[in-house]
Amino acid sequence: MPDEGRIQESATQADDTMAAPRKRQTSVYVRGIVIAGIVVLAIAGAGRWAYWQWSHVSETDARITADTVAISSRVAGWIVALPVADGDTVTPDTLLIEIDSRQSRLQLTEYGARIEGLKAARAQIASEIELIDKTSASRVEALQSRAGAARVAVSSSREQFELARADFERTRSLLADQIVSHRRLDQVQNELSQAQERHQKAQADLTAALADVSEAEAERGQMTVLSRRIDALRHEEAEIAAQRDQQALDIADRTIKSPIEGVVSETFVDAGEFVSPGQRLMLIHNPAAVWVEANIKETDIRHLEPGMPVDVSIDAYPDRHFTGTIARIGQAATSEFALLPNPNPSGNFTKVTQRLPVRVALEPSDVALRPGMMAVVNIEIPGR
């Protein structure tokens, strides 16, 4: 019996010795199949990735962009009201900032008072002109009539004087011929003297009448002086009115309202601060008018043209898919607008692929896209 047990134990050990190589062979075979499968999958994935890279233009250097309006002040002053904050939605004419306008309003009131004073002065001068016109018009007319009568009197007295002088000359010649007496000559001479006096008096009256007419007309000439004074006051009033309008514009500029419908991106001031003209106060953008700005390599630009469809992925929304179209392709590389250009004065040149900005217009979406968000754009190249 002991011999039979030893025989069975030896047989079992022989079977185990033969099975071990068979298990190792099976394990090596399975491992080879797995490795081969992994290699095949890797080759297939690499091929697919290579094909996708060959048939698409993909860029991770892309961001959400919007037209941001910088709100600034045209005047200097203290901020007395700041009713909006970052993230607030605003509409056109929404009050953003109010600057202290007390001094400007007082100045506006002063200009208004000065204008009213000039209007009153013009009205007073106009009344004086009307009064002078009424009082001097009839007087000038009467004096002109008097001067006309004086002219007639001068003409008549001149004729009488000439007639008396001719009569005197004739009487004196007749006296030489002893036809008339000395008494008659004296009488004619007396008539000549009286005619001469009347003529001189008529001339004096005419001179006085003409002087009165000139004086009356000079009084009416004062109307012209007063009219010119009114014109000067009118010009002064127009100048002050322009200053008043400028002051009203200054007051209007102290109430800063939103020019667009959008969202307050960022504020740079607080209520109570003093602001200067041109100082940036806040930024506003329209969240409904955003697009993707992608910086595409210059080697890929030849494959793109406006209107091509674009697949967009937003990092903030990895589970959402966005679509768009190429709206515009930049006409210059982004390096051309660098604040610090690299002139390469040393001559050591390292060629770097440049990038051109490409604007992608997005289709409407219910997701709030904010400027500055990172994005990835994928553009399929036609014919590949």
Nearest to 283 by CA among 263, 301, 300: 263
d(CA 380, CA 51): 11
Mean pLDDT to the nearest integer, 324-348: 75
- Cβ of 139: how many Cβ atoms within 10 Å? 16
Mean pLDDT across the stretch 227-244? 93
Q: What DSSP assignment string belongs to 207-264?
A: HHHHHHHHHHHHHHHHHHHHHHHHHHHHHHHHHHHHHHHHHHHHHHHTEEE-SSSEEE
Report pLDDT digits (tens) over 38-51: 888 888 777 777 76
Supply 207's token pair: 């001179």
Is 110 a residue whose pLDDT tops 80? yes
Whole-number pLDDT of residue 195: 81
pLDDT band at 252 (very low <50, low <70, confident <90, very high): very high
> Average pLDDT for residues 97-102, to the nearest whole number?
94
Residue, of 268 and 203, whose pLDDT is higher: 268
Pairing of strands 255-257, 262-267: unpaired
73 neighbors 276 (Cβ within 8 angstroms): yes
Looking at residue 1, its pLDDT comes to 46
- In the predicted model, what is the mean pLDDT of residues 237-246? 94
Q: What are phi and psi of 379, to 5 degrees?
A: -125, 120
What the chain holds in terms of domains, given with CATH numbers, is 58-100+260-380 (2.40.30.170), 102-252 (1.10.287.620)
State the average pLDDT over residues 184-204: 81
| pLDDT score at 10 | 55
> Which one has a higher pLDDT value, 179 or 372?
372
226 or 215: which leads in pLDDT: 226
Helical segments of the chain, H only: 2-55, 102-176, 182-253
Token look-up 């013009």 returns: 122
Picking from 195, 228, 382, the residue whose alpha carbon sits closest to that of residue 307 is 382
**Cα 257 from Cα 74, distance rounded (Å):** 13
Non-local (6+) Cβ contacts of 241 within 8 A are: 111, 115
Q: Which residue has the higher pLDDT, 295 or 162?
A: 295
Phi-psi region of 87 (alpha: psi -120 to 50; beta: other; left: phi over 0): left
What is the DSSP-derived secondary structure letter of residue 274? E
pLDDT digits (tens, 9 = 90+) for 66-98: 988 999 999 999 999 999 999 899 999 899 999
Using the Cα atoms of residue 117, residue 123, residue 126 and residue 130 in order, give the sign of their dihedral. negative
The count of residues in the chain is: 384
Residue 239 predicted with pLDDT over 80: yes
Q: Are 242 and 144 in contact (CB under 8 A)?
A: no
Out of 17-31, 74-88, 217-231, give the one with best mean pLDDT.
74-88
What pLDDT does 326 receive?
A: 93
At 42 the pLDDT is 85
pLDDT over threshold 70, residue 193: yes
Is 218 a residue whose pLDDT tops 60?
yes
Residue 227, C-beta contacts closer than 8 angstroms, at least 6 positions apart: 129
- In the prediction, which pLDDT does 169 show? 79
Helix or strand run (H / E) with residue 328:
strand 317-329
Average the pLDDT over 146-160 and give the result: 82
